[in-house]
A and B are shown apart, each in its own frame.
Chain A
Amino acid sequence: MTEPKPDKKPEPMWPLYEVFLRPRNGLAHKHVGSLHAADDEMALQNARDVYTRRGEATSIWVVPSKAIVASAPDQREALIEPSSPENKPYRHPTFYDIPDEVGHM
C-alpha cells in the first residue's frame, strides 16, 4: 500500500456542500440540495453538473455544510412559536381592504 504524502492527508470521505441557485437576476439564491466534492472549486463544478442541467441558474453558490448554523427542532417553542400567526395575528396584514385600483400587489 502506498503512503499518502504527509501534507496531503486524504479525507476519508469528501466534505458535504449545500447548493444555492439564483434562477434570474433580481431573485435571491435558493437552496436546491447538497453534494459531495473534493474541494470548493470542484463543488462549484459538481453543482453545475448536478443541479443546472436544464438551465436553472444564472448564478451558483456552494457553501460547506458545516458552515451552516441551523436552528434545532427542540428550540422550536422559543424560536418559532411566539411569532406564529396564532400568537401574533396582527403581524400578518390580512385585515386591510385593498382598493381595486391598486391591482396586483
Chain B
Amino acid sequence: MPGSDQHAHLDYLLRLADTSLILGHRLSEWSGRAPTLEEDIALSNIALDLIGQARPLYARAASLEGKGRSEDDLAFLRDPEEYLNLQIVERPNKDFAATMARQLAYSTFAELAWQQLKGSQDPDIAGVAAKAEKECAYHVRHSAEWVIRLGDGTEESHARMQAGLDDVWMYTGEMFEVDDVDTAMIAAGIGFDAAALKPQWARAMAEVIGEATLRLPGERWMSTGGRRGIHTEHLGHLLAQMQALPRAHPGASW
C-alpha cells in the first residue's frame, strides 16, 4: 500500500533528522562553557556536523510530505510529541563525563548505522550517510579518547565517568529496536536492520570501557518510545529554548 509506505518513509526521515538535530542542539549548549577553549571548539564542531546531517533530511521529508512545510517548519514548529528522535540524544549534558558517555554510546551506533544507510534506495539518505559516516567516525574517536582518559585518570574523573556511563545505559536499548516502520523501510531497501548492529556496538563499547578501566554497565530495564513521540521530560525544555525565536518571530530571517 503506497500510502502507508510513504507515511513510514516520512517517519523514518524524521527519526533520523530529529536524532541528529537534538543531539546537535544539546552539544551546542556547551558553546562558551566547555572546560577549555580547545574542547569548546571541538564540541561546537561536532554539534555543527550533526545539525548539518539533519538539514538535508528535513528538506527531503518536507518535499515528501508535500504540504508546503519547509525544513525550518519541521525543526522549529513541531511539539515534543511530534519529535521522533531517540531518547538518548535528549538527555541533559550534566557534566563533561556524562556528555562524553552519551556521545560515545550514540556515535558508535551512528557510525555503524550510517555505514548501512550508504546503500539506501533513498538517494538523499544515502548522500547524508556517506558524509555522516566519516563525521561520526571522528566523533567516536574524540569521545573514546576522553572516556579512556577520564576513566583511567584520577579517582574523581573515574567516578564521574562511571556515573555517566551508568546513567546513559538505560537509553541505549532503543537504538537497536526494529518496529513496523523499520520493517517496512528495510523491505523497501531504504532502511537498515538496527538489531543486527548490536553485537558490533557492544564489542566496540566493551573495548573502550575496558581500556578506560571502567565497569561495563550490566543488563537493565531499557527506556523506549522516543521514535514514537514518547519522550523524557527534558525534550520539552530543550525545544522551548531551541524554538523560542522562530515561534516568537515567525518568518524572521538574518
Could you list which residues of chain A lie within 8 angstroms of chain B, going by C-beta atoms?
2-5, 8, 10, 14, 35-39, 41-42, 45-46, 49-50, 53
Contacts and interface: CB of A to CB of B under 8 A. Distances in A.
17 contacts: A2-B156, A2-B159, A3-B155, A10-B153, A14-B36, A35-B37, A36-B37, A37-B38, A38-B149, A39-B149, A45-B42, A45-B141, A46-B42, A49-B38, A49-B45, A50-B38, A53-B41
Task: State the majority secondary structure of interface residues on B.
Answer: helix
Shortest Cβ-Cβ A-B pairs, 6 listed? A49-B42, A46-B38, A2-B155, A4-B154, A2-B156, A49-B41
Contacts of B41: 49-50, 53
Contacts of A36: 36-38
A3 B154 CA distance: 8
Contacts, number: 44
Given A41-B145, A45-B142, A45-B145, A2 B154 contact: yes
Interface of B: 36-39, 41-42, 45, 141-142, 145, 149, 152-156, 159
Contacts of B155: 2-5
Contacts of B142: 45
Question: Chain A interface secondary structure, helix, strand, loop or mixed?
Answer: loop
Residue of B38, B45, B145 with highest tally of chain A CB at under 10 A: B38
Nearest to A41: B145
A37 B145 CA distance: 12
A50 B43 CA distance: 11
A42 B154 contact: no
A49 B156 CA distance: 27
A65 to B, nearest CB: 14
Contacts of A42: 145, 149
Nearest to B146: A42
Contacts of A35: 37-38
B146 to A, nearest CB: 8
Nearest to A37: B38
Nearest to B45: A49
Contacts of B159: 2
Given A3-B155, A36-B37, A49-B45, 5 more contacts: A4-B155, A41-B145, A45-B142, A49-B41, A49-B42
Contacts of A53: 41, 45
Contacts of B152: 8
A40 B141 CA distance: 14
Contacts of B36: 14, 36
Nearest to B43: A49
A17 to B, nearest CB: 10
Contacts of B149: 38-39, 42
A28 B159 CA distance: 44
